[in-house]
Amino acid sequence: MQKKTKVIIAVVVAIVVVLGGFYLYASHAVASHVPGHVYEYTSISGNQKAYMTFAKSGDEVVVTPSKDKALKANGSDSAFQSVYQGEADQGKWNYEAKGSRLTLSKTQDNKVSLWQYNHVLAFGKKIHSSSFSYQIANAGQGVDRKATTFEQIR
């Protein structure tokens, strides 16, 4: 084998290893990305926004259409609890970030609704999901195969 061919093979192998390592990291990094941060979510139709402030510790998350409330909740642990309790009449939100999944749950009137974002890649200030499944109390369940992106704003 010629030296040039060996160099080309080595470069290709190095690229595959780097890309594979990046994918492995990004596909299992959501659990370390969300705690203590605020994310903006734009609906699939693009006409609505929601803001999510993830607790610094624990599994609580403030989900609100108000950017101001989401940012206020990120100020301190007591500010988070104040906003979380203030929003409780709209339901209590929790989350689980594990592997390549991010699951949000809303409990309201003793009924639970779930949104599970699948095949999550977390890198930089973005969390990208290729699809999500949902189970909404009294409204049904399904899978939406449209991509979703959450962008960290704080």
The structure tokens 């749950």 sit at 105
Give the tens place of pLDDT for each residue, 111-154: 999 999 999 999 999 999 999 999 999 889 999 998 899 999 99
Fill in the amino acid letter for 144.
Answer: D
Give the tens place of pLDDT for each residue, 84-107: 999 999 999 999 999 999 999 999
Structural domains in the chain, CATH included, are 3-152 (2.40.128)
HSE-CB at 65 with a 13 A cutoff on CA atoms is: 5
